[in-house]
Amino acid sequence: MSEIWKLIGDAIRAHQAFAVLSHNRPDGDAIGSQLALGLCLQKLGKKVKVWNDDGVPRKFKFLPHSELAQKPPAQPQPFDVVIGLDNAALERFGDSMKAVSAKKLFINIDHHVSNPSFGDINWIDSTAPATGQIIFNLIKHNHFPMNADIGACLYAAILTDTGSFQFPNTTPESLRVAAELLETRFDIGQLARNIYGNYPLARAKLLRGILDNLKFAHDHRVAYYWITREMYQKSGALSEDTEGLIDHVRAIDTVVVAVSFEEMDEPNRFRASFRSKHPDVDVNKIAKTFGGGGHREAAGTRIRGTKEEVEQRVLAAIEEELGRAGL
């Protein structure tokens, strides 16, 4: 950690106008980290805008002051400092970054090992299971404001990116941080029910379509599926409803790597998400082959080509990684 927390803390103290950005299609870590830092900056008396291209997914609208996170405006605005969170690829800031007309400083805070350190100040900690844990340390070490609302947002960030503290990225520090956050006295039971016990029916219909069309490769060590625009239309699901669906596939006993392919609005462009449950199979390497990235156990990318070409190329790359791991 060195003194990076102090460097960023000093920058926060020295400036007044902040934009807190994260990637499109935000997950729990992105939204939780954005809201927590935004609320903390407000408590410090700063002027704050919290933007990502898709706003707050409906499953996270229960988080305290979720209305703080908005889609970016059409008219660009100037800021003293832009803070990018939980994003390893500049282009995934999308219109949110375009809505910044000027900035004096760009701070990049992330936990993805693939982050190339594109900020003026970079705090990249790939040992942290969630960006929310880094934000917790930033707040704690600088003695910045912490309360139940900020605590709930950070807990949601860490909870979701550790798979409820089940994924191998969970560390002793993660559990100590979670314990400290619980001391802020938010309702942990209600938070868990909102995240894991409040899915829309449309999501279940989409999952049914996925399982009906699930395919296997490499002696059932790889499971993969496609999500098409037609599947969204038939189920009534939104793109945000796909979060966590891949874990149902990864949970199959023979499966080492699970892959989700998704059609994008642009013709011949597809989104691929990877999950690994074997310590020697690094899906970040697979994603980087196609210009993407992420973590060893979870990564993603976007690929151009026909549906058949994309599927073939990805399965070949997975086979190569399985062979490297001796599987």
Q: Output helix, strand, coil percentages for the chain, rounded to the nearest 5.
A: 45, 20, 35
- Where exactly does CATH 3.90.1640.10 map onto the chain? 4-196
C-beta neighbour count of 98 within 10 angstroms: 12
Give the pLDDT score at 251.
Answer: 95
From the list 254, 312, 300, the residue with the least C-alpha distance to 275 is: 300
Contact 25, 239 (CB under 8 A): yes
CATH of region 4-196, choose from 1.10.490.10, 3.40.640.10, 3.60.90.10, 3.90.1640.10: 3.90.1640.10
pLDDT of residue 265: 86
Q: For the structural domain made of 201-324, what CATH number should be given?
A: 3.10.310.30
Q: Is the pTM of this model over 0.85?
A: yes
pLDDT value for 1: 55
State how far the Cα of 103 lies from the Cα of 109, in Å rounded to an integer. Answer: 17
Residue span(s) of the chain under CATH 3.10.310.30 come to 201-324
The string of pLDDT tens digits covering residues 249-296 is 999 999 999 999 999 988 999 999 999 999 999 999 999 999 999 999
Q: Convert the pLDDT of each residue in 148-201 to its tens digit.
A: 999 999 999 999 999 999 988 999 999 999 999 999 999 999 999 999 999 999
Per-residue model confidence (pLDDT) at position 162: 95
